[in-house]
């Protein structure tokens, strides 16, 4: 099969080329907070520097215990043996999909890599629309219909991926929606893969995030990591929480099999530092709270600016994404610029202003829709000093 570079990485590469040519860039495609590494994490990484041996495939016990504690504090009773660490949640998701071994229902829109990974492991994504302002979770009623229809057409649909808080819409699904989704998954015997990488980045701490693991614990795998909450994407560390029981045992065995052949174990020093972070001392929770506030301020400000120029944009509740719809620009874009698709608009913005954004089609939505994802992160600075200033502004 042919494998193309992920859409987010491709936009980033286009921006790097522009920067080399001395042209202005506004990187709004790559999903990263762009904040500095906080000093306690630098120290924690240095403290783990002696960790040079290959570690256990499932991850260091210290990290698995800390991650279990993290989930317990979120009302998900977890044994360290249910936890598997990997070099980022992305490879963990890939390994899980490989083990699941069938077609996967995915919200439309949803993060670019779910569909790509499903195809990489030889299966097909089944896109299911979401409810308004509740991105990341397929509409449970439509999910039931879509899976039933696909199965009657001979497709082997085995799992559904859920992302709340969501990339690309920045919204959080309600308790009712998550509960209904879990019920449908149980009725249809689907594994639920709940990607909770943005869980700690809700802008308002009063917003409660619900996990399908609360309602269908026997079939829900949860993944998370430090890439977003602590802006440590480049450290490549993630953790998966597998369910107890038969489904969990099967998934764990498959996951460890893939991990043992592909990454052996995540980097030791990073695991030690991650164990510290998942222990959630005050330095960590304070830093995440600042980042959360900062992203709330920036996301709201940018959403207001988009609304002012005629875009429709759902108020973001978490993370650093917006998903404005430029449908009202359709006539003007076609007449003045010959642009008729979201991809065309993204190309125009890149060429004219160096704006790196992703069109809706990358997220599994109608190719004609004029939408884009916007990571607001780098709006507030490109140098480390500017990032420190920005973080302080979150106080
Ligand atoms: N899941 C979602 C929804 C994401 O947006 C991203 C990063 O963009 C990831 C997972 C990847 O996380 P990690 O750095 O842990 O591989």
Rounded Cα distance between 360 and 355, Å, is 15
What are the tens digits of pLDDT across the range 132-171?
999 899 999 999 999 999 999 999 999 999 999 999 889 9
Q: Tell me the average pLDDT across 299-304.
A: 87
Q: How far away, in angstroms, is 28 Cα from ligand 1 center?
A: 16
Instruction: Give the pLDDT of residue 33.
Output: 73
Rounded Cα distance between 48 and 268, Å, is 7
Contact 212, 178 (CB under 8 A): yes
Domains and CATH numbers, the chain: 7-38+283-393 (3.90.1150.10), 52-279 (3.40.640.10)
Rounded Cα distance between 151 and 167, Å, is 28
Instruction: Give the pLDDT of residue 39.
Output: 96
Instruction: Enumerate the H helices of the chain as residue ranges.
Output: 7-20, 39-47, 61-72, 89-100, 112-120, 140-152, 175-187, 212-215, 245-262, 268-278, 282-308, 330-337, 342-353, 384-393
* pLDDT class of 294 with cuts at 50, 70, 90: confident
Q: Is 389 helix (H, G, I), strand (E, B) or coil?
A: helix
Which tokens sit at 211? 């996990």
Cα torsion 104, 109, 111, 112: sign? positive
Q: What is the helix (H) or strand (E) element at residue 224, kind and residue range?
A: strand 220-225
Which residue's CA lies nearest to atom 5 of ligand 1? 167
Burial class (CB in 10 A: 0-12, 13-18, 19+), 69: middle
What are the tens digits of pLDDT across the range 114-132?
999 999 999 999 999 999 9
Residue 227 CA, closest ligand 1 atom number: 14
Residue 30 CA, closest ligand 1 atom number: 8
Q: Tell me the average pLDDT across 233-256.
A: 97
C-alpha distances out from residue 168 to 282, 335, 336, 337, 348, Å: 29, 28, 28, 26, 20
Instruction: Report ipTM for this prediction.
Output: 0.99
Pocket residues for ligand 1 (CB within 6 Å)?
A: 31, 88-90, 111, 163, 167, 195, 197, 225, 227, 233, 238
Q: How far away, in angstroms, is 163 Cα from ligand 1 center?
A: 10
Which of 109, 11, 19 has its CA nearest to residue 349? 11
Residue 163 CA, closest ligand 1 atom number: 3
Which of 196, 221, 261 has its CA nearest to residue 96? 221
Contact 18, 25 (CB under 8 A): yes
What letters, b where the CB count within 10 A reaches 16 and e where it falls short, cover 378-387? Answer: bbbbeeeeeb
Q: How far away, in angstroms, is 197 Cα from ligand 1 center?
A: 6
Is pLDDT at 385 greater than 90 in this prediction? Answer: no
Measured N-to-C along each axis, helices 268-278 and 39-47 cross at an angle, to the nearest 10 degrees, of 130
Residue 166 CA, closest ligand 1 atom number: 3
Rounded Cα distance between 249 and 251, Å, is 6
Residue in 94, 168, 199, 228 to alter for ligand 1 test, most ligand atoms within 8 A of Cβ: 228
Which residue's CA lies nearest to atom 9 of ligand 1? 90
Which tokens sit at 13? 């590469």
Supply the mean pLDDT for the chain: 90
Residue in 97, 227, 263, 266 to alter for ligand 1 test, most ligand atoms within 8 A of Cβ: 227
Q: How far away, in angstroms, is 90 Cα from ligand 1 center?
A: 6
C-alpha distances out from residue 197 to 56, 170, 264, Å: 23, 12, 23
Q: How far away, in angstroms, is 36 Cα from ligand 1 center?
A: 18
Which of 366, 353, 364 has its CA nearest to residue 327? 366
Rounded Cα distance between 91 and 120, Å, is 12
At 309, give phi and psi (nearest 5°).
-100, 20
Instruction: Give the pLDDT of residue 395.
Output: 44
Q: How far away, in angstroms, is 187 Cα from ligand 1 center?
A: 29
Residue 91 CA, closest ligand 1 atom number: 16
Contact 76, 213 (CB under 8 A): yes
Highest mean pLDDT among 14-18, 207-211, 289-293, 331-335: 207-211
**107 or 299: which carries more pLDDT confidence?**
107
Enter the pTM of the model: 0.91
Q: How far away, in angstroms, is 89 Cα from ligand 1 center?
A: 6
Instruction: Give the pLDDT of residue 284.
Output: 97
* pLDDT class of 301 with cuts at 50, 70, 90: confident
Residue in 59, 97, 111, 267 to alter for ligand 1 test, most ligand atoms within 8 A of Cβ: 111
Contact 283, 38 (CB under 8 A): yes
Which tokens sit at 241? 């929480």
Residue 32 CA, closest ligand 1 atom number: 8
Residue 236 CA, closest ligand 1 atom number: 14
What are the tens digits of pLDDT across the range 45-88?
999 999 999 999 999 999 999 999 999 999 999 999 999 999 99
Is pLDDT at 377 greater than 60 in this prediction? Answer: no
Rounded Cα distance between 213 and 192, Å, is 8
Instruction: Give the pLDDT of residue 369.
Output: 63
Q: Label residue 104 left, alpha or beta by phi (over 0 means left) and psi (-120 to 50 means alpha).
A: beta
Which residue's CA lies nearest to atom 7 of ligand 1? 31
Which residue's CA lies nearest to atom 8 of ligand 1? 31
Instruction: Give the pLDDT of residue 19.
Output: 84
Residue 31 CA, closest ligand 1 atom number: 8
């Amino acid at each position: 099969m042919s494998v193309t570079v992920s859409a987010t990485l491709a936009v980033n590469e286009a921006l790097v080329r522009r920067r080399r040519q001395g042209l202005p860039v506004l990187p709004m495609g790559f999903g990263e907070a762009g904040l500095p590494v906080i000093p306690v994490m630098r120290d924690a990484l240095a403290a783990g520097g002696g960790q040079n041996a290959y570690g256990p495939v499932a991850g260091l016990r210290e990290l698995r215990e800390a991650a279990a504690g993290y989930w317990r504090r979120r009302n998900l009773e977890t044994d360290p043996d249910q936890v598997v660490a990997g070099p980022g949640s992305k490879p963990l998701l890939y390994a899980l999909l490989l083990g699941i071994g069938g077609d996967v229902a995915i919200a439309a829109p949803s993060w670019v890599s779910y569909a790509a990974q499903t195809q990489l492991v030889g299966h097909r994504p089944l896109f299911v629309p979401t409810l308004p302002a509740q991105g990341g979770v397929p509409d449970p009623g439509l999910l039931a219909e879509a899976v039933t229809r696909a199965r009657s057409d001979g497709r082997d649909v085995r799992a559904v991926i859920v992302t709340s808080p969501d990339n690309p819409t920045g919204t959080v699904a309600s308790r009712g929606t998550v509960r209904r989704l879990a019920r449908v998954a149980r009725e249809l015997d689907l594994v639920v893969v709940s990607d909770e990488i943005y869980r700690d980045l809700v802008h308002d701490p009063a917003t409660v995030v619900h996990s399908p693991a609360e309602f269908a614990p026997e079939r829900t795998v949860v993944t998370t990591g430090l890439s977003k909450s602590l802006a440590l994407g480049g450290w490549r560390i993630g953790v998966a929480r597998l369910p107890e029981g038969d489904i969990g045992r099967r998934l764990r065995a498959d996951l460890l099999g893939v991990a043992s052949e592909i990454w052996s174990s995540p980097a030791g020093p990073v695991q030690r530092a991650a164990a510290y972070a998942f222990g959630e001392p005050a330095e960590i929770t304070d830093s995440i709270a600042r980042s959360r506030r900062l992203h709330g301020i920036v996301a709201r400000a940018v959403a207001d600016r988009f609304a002012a120029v005629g875009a429709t944009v759902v108020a973001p509740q978490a993370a650093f994404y917006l998903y404005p719809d430029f449908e009202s620009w359709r006539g003007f874009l076609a007449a003045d610029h010959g642009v008729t698709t979201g991809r065309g608009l993204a190309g125009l913005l890149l060429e004219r202003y160096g704006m790196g954004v992703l069109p809706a089609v990358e997220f599994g939505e109608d190719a004609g829709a004029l939408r884009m994802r916007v990571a607001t992160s780098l709006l507030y600075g490109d140098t480390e000093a500017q990032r420190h200033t920005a973080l302080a502004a979150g106080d």
